[in-house]
Structure 1
Amino acid sequence: MRFLDQFQHTSKVSRDEILKCHELRKKFGDLTAVDDVSFTIESGETYGLLGPNGAGKTTTISMIAGILERDGGDVSISGRPHSTTSTWGKKQIGYVPQDLALYPDLTARENLRFFARLYGLRRAEARPRIDEVLEVVGLTDRANDPVKDYSGGMKRRLNIGVGLLHRPPLLILDEPTAGVDPQSRNAILESVSALTGEGVAVLYTTHYMEEAERLCDRIGIIDLGRIKAEGTRRELVGLVGELDRISLTADDGAKAVPALEALPEVRKVSHHESHLEVMVEDARQSLTTVLAAATAAGTVVRAVEVHEPNLESVFLHLTGKALRD
């Protein structure tokens, strides 16, 4: 599948920049729901908005999708201005809301056929496209079953499939795993990962840290309508200043202490009985070197555990409170 061929647009903006938001603002009476939110997403990138319910995630994406009028700021899709009246811009977006938008008495294939017509796909184009979408969301074997017989997770996956029918360069997913079982959640995350591999830009909102850490190339932490910080997981964790910890269960661990302390990537080493605790900035990059140094020093390593600071630590650091539902 090639999602982007027909969407290239020449402009001063980078060819790969699909979405640009600048200082988005929205108020509801005295409540400021979104306050100067800015970020960009490139093709093949998953950008996560991580924050609790009520943080402003849905309001932000509703303005981006062009279904909610903004009070201020700008949105552009592939370098072209986008608003609630922009027909072209809306065609570039696949929007998958929290609430299911499906007909329960129709089969999955019939639902997709109906929405393909709404998107303006010709019958000859829609037929193979529906088969492709069913494969992407893992519902080929249940394509002819009524949606009312689907599990919650299957309905969520079909909802994503509807958003993909017209091959949008930008897919917006608003809490797509809310209320689904772990198996369905994993299937949804795998589907999203496959899409970014095809060049789709994904805007993904969630209040689940593990989803953001697993799926997102960059993350914007949002609370009370403001982006508190953004970056890769590693960059965000760096704001807290915490180090990764490599825990070794080893025989003769004391022998390895001098060798480990001499490594440039090691910040601190502690030893107690059969346990070694090695503090490093990036455990994934340092693990091989640490194990090699310990083994060369005559230590027999029996077990290894890696502990990395998570986004919960970052959120607590930035907002003074834990990430909540």
Structure 2
Amino acid sequence: MTVRPPAVVVRGLRKSYGSFEAVRGVDFEIADGETFALLGPNGAGKSTTIEILEGYRDRDGGDVTVLGEDPGKAGTAWKARLGIVLQSGSEAANVTVREQLTQFARYYPNSRDVEEIILSVGLEEKAKTRIRNLSGGQRRRLDVALGVIGRPELLFLDEPTTGFDPEARRQFWELVRSLKREGTTILLTTHYLDEAAQLSDRAAVIAHGALLDIGAVDEIGGSASRVPIVRWRDATGAQHEERTEAPGALVARLTVELGGEPRDLEVIRPSLEDIYLGLVREADEQAGAEEVAA
């Protein structure tokens, strides 16, 4: 079986704006056909990193290849292999949703079916509506549709489901899964951590321009961060909590000791969001300590 080279390789990526280091020596790879989430708070360096990968921003240092080419030097044929869904996009055009998608489909040699895309982003009832008359959330769905219409080899999804209602969000998730089944490589940024957990093979967490952790979604943060927490109140109302690999045994022991189930008993298994917030909190504390030391 032939092993295809990574779709994205980033080594020692650096970018500064004046004295501010937006990206500080970031390293990661994205395998061909992988769905990869780049997670981090606002100002973490995500957008700068992605703009460099898309070829829209020059880097100050490091090596980057995207689909086998340096994005800082690649031409229009390389750009045609990408699909990009930005945080904001479609203008208030005087054409309908269907007309806009039909026009964009003509730009690609193997575009997706227009009606299929309209359905997948939940715009079937707005297909004949002029874009200028769409709501903000509906325009966001159109942005996503325009990004995937050309069957890109590598798709950048920057906060793709902002403004989606729950049903449309689920429809979009299924679209992403279908793209993955077709072999599309996907780089996803999202503030919805459940979305990252649902869709991604691996994730990287970035804060203050540095990579904090990278790995499979169910391994980010390491095993210690995934130990369940048992939380309860004693007879006086005081709250207690304990991390344990055996929460069932702890609950059984407490039930015997207290003569019944503890009050307000909770067994919490840390989610990706819990782990992400912990990593970012630690990075913020370290950055604060470095500023004080300086």
* 8 Å Cα contact 1:315-1:321 kept in structure 2: no
Unaligned 5+ segments in structure 1 are 1-12, 248-264, 277-304
Query: How many angstroms does 1:163 deviate by?
Result: 1.3
After superposition, the Cα gap between the structure-2 partners of 1:246 and 1:143, relative to the gap in structure 1 and judged at 3 Å, is farther
Match of 1:285 in 2: none
Aligned equivalents of 2:249, 2:14: Cα separation in 1: 48
C-alpha distance after superposition, 1:188-247 (max 9, x if no partner): 333222321222111011223222222221110010111110112221142544324799
Within the candidate set 47, 57, 61, 2:50 is matched to 61
SS at structure 1 position matched to 2:220: helix
Query: How many angstroms does 1:316 deviate by?
Result: 4.3
What is the number of residues matched between the two proteins? 263
After superposition, the Cα gap between the structure-2 partners of 1:82 and 1:207, relative to the gap in structure 1 and judged at 3 Å, is same
SS at structure 1 position matched to 2:129: coil
Q: In structure 1, what residue type is equivalent to 2:249? A: V
C-alpha distance after superposition, 1:3-51 (max 9, x if no partner): xxxxxxxxxx941632222222111111111122222222432111111
Aligned equivalents of 1:112, 1:316: Cα separation in 2: 38
Matched, 1:156 2:134: no
In percent, how many aligned pairs have the same letter?
Answer: 38
C-alpha distance after superposition, 1:107-127 (max 9, x if no partner): 11111133335x3x37xx66x
Match of 1:26 in 2: 15
* 8 Å Cα contact 1:315-1:322 kept in structure 2: no
Within the candidate set 172, 190, 193, 1:206 is matched to 190
Matched, 1:167 2:151: yes
Aligned equivalents of 1:78, 1:33: Cα separation in 2: 24
Match of 1:310 in 2: 271
Match of 1:98 in 2: 87
Matched, 1:129 2:109: no
* 8 Å Cα contact 1:25-1:36 kept in structure 2: yes
Match of 1:234 in 2: 218
Unaligned 5+ segments in structure 2 are 232-244, 285-294
C-alpha distance after superposition, 1:157-193 (max 9, x if no partner): 2111111222211100111223444444333333222
Structure 1 segments of 4 or more deviating over 6 A? none
Match of 2:69 in 1: 80
TM-score (norm 2): 0.76
Q: In structure 2, what residue type is equivalent to 1:108? A: V
Q: In structure 1, what residue type is equivalent to 2:183? A: G
Query: How many angstroms does 1:80 deviate by?
Result: 3.4
Matched, 1:269 2:268: no
After superposition, the Cα gap between the structure-2 partners of 1:50 and 1:35, relative to the gap in structure 1 and judged at 3 Å, is same
Q: In structure 2, what residue type is equivalent to 1:314? A: I
* 8 Å Cα contact 1:66-1:86 kept in structure 2: no
Match of 1:216 in 2: 200
Aligned equivalents of 2:214, 2:179: Cα separation in 1: 22
After superposition, the Cα gap between the structure-2 partners of 1:321 and 1:199, relative to the gap in structure 1 and judged at 3 Å, is same
Match of 1:47 in 2: 36
TM-score (norm 1): 0.70
Aligned equivalents of 2:228, 2:34: Cα separation in 1: 26
